[in-house]
């Protein structure tokens, strides 16, 4: 019995030593990989400390959706040898992901300004200015940007009941796209004459409700009208004014 007990104790002792050895080995392995991960993170941070980072997200506010697959170009206005250059040159280009996100990491140089250009088929091209003073080395300059799909408004105007050659109509299309190239203007336009049959087609933001205002002078009367018109994305909406 004593011999058996001694053998059993030796077995447990040897087993415990093996278990302790395995535990120590696992702890060493865990410590090694933990140290390796920390080193990688520190190296990555160190790399980004010497870089500029400009990132952002494109959102179509009228459709309440992210814009994926859009081309984003980053331009910079360099200061070379202490001389300011008025020209913007392309630093890098990217494409937004499924969440509308983009990110640029690039070398630190002397820039007086940055510019982002957003483009996509059937979307209204947009430029965003970025103040170089707000872009700091190693810090992520991250913003959300509005980017809108296209829609078209076809406005038909006709003087069906002419009164005199002095008849006239003034109209305007109040919309958020006013000021963008080829988009509807929010300024008043005047058309004079008794025989008016005119059609105007212009571009606006998709999913946007525009306000059409017009004033008609026919004979002695001047009458004001207005109408809200929804312009769905990628489609042409027709609106007629008859007076």
Give yes or no: residues 138 and 81 share one domain: yes
Assign 129 to helix, strand or coil: strand
Give yes or no: residues 173 and 219 share one domain: yes
Give yes or no: residues 139 and 171 share one domain: no
Which CATH number is 60's domain given? Answer: 2.60.40.1120
Give yes or no: residues 214 and 128 share one domain: no
Give yes or no: residues 154 and 106 share one domain: no
Q: Is residue 1 part of a domain?
A: no
- Looking at residue 194, what is its pLDDT? 79
Q: Is residue 166 part of a domain?
A: yes
The backbone torsions φ and ψ at residue 185, rounded to the nearest 5 degrees and listed phi first, read -95, 145
What's the whole-number average pLDDT of the chain?
Answer: 85
Which CATH number is 221's domain given? Answer: 2.60.40
Token pair 């959706």: residue: 65
Q: Given 146, 168, 188, which residue is the final one in a domain?
A: 146
Give yes or no: residues 128 and 181 share one domain: no
Q: What is the pTM of this model?
A: 0.74
d(CA 8, CA 11): 5
d(CA 85, CA 111): 9
Q: Is residue 8 part of a domain?
A: no
d(CA 225, CA 218): 14
- How many residues are listed for the chain in this entry? 243
Instruction: Tell me the residue range of the domain where 74 lies.
Output: 51-146
Q: Is residue 4 part of a domain?
A: no
Q: What is the pLDDT of residues 186-242, one digit of tens each?
A: 999 999 987 889 999 999 999 999 999 999 987 788 999 999 999 999 999 999 999
Reference 98, options 141, 152, 57; nearest CA is 57
Q: Is residue 5 part of a domain?
A: no
Q: How far apart are the first and last CA of the chain?
A: 119
Q: Is residue 9 part of a domain?
A: no
Token pair 């030796």: residue: 10
d(CA 123, CA 77): 26
């Amino acid at each position: 019995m004593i011999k058996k007990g001694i053998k059993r104790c030796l077995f447990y002792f040897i087993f415990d030593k093996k278990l302790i050895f395995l535990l120590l080995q696992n702890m060493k392995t865990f410590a090694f990989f933990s140290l390796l991960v920390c080193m990688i993170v520190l190296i990555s941070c160190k790399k980004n400390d010497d870089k500029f980072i400009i990132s952002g997200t494109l959102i179509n506010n009228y459709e309440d959706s992210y814009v994926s697959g859009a081309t984003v170009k980053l331009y910079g206005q360099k200061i070379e040898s202490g001389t300011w250059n008025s020209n913007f040159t392309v630093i890098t280009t990217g494409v937004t992901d499924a969440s509308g996100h983009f990110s640029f990491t690039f070398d630190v140089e002397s820039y007086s300004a940055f510019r982002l250009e957003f483009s996509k088929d059937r979307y209204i091209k947009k430029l965003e200015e970025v103040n170089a003073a707000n872009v700091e080395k190693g810090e992520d300059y991250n913003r959300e940007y509005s980017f809108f799909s296209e829609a078209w408004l076809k406005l038909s105007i006709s003087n069906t009941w002419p009164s005199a050659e002095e008849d006239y109509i003034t109209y305007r299309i109040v919309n958020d796209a006013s000021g963008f190239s080829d988009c509807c203007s929010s300024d008043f336009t005047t058309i004079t004459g008794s025989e008016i049959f005119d059609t105007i087609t212009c571009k606006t933001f998709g999913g946007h409700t525009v306000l059409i205002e017009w004033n008609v002078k026919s004979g002695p009367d001047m009458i004001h009208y207005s109408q809200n018109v929804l312009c769905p994305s990628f489609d042409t909406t027709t609106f007629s004014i008859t007076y």
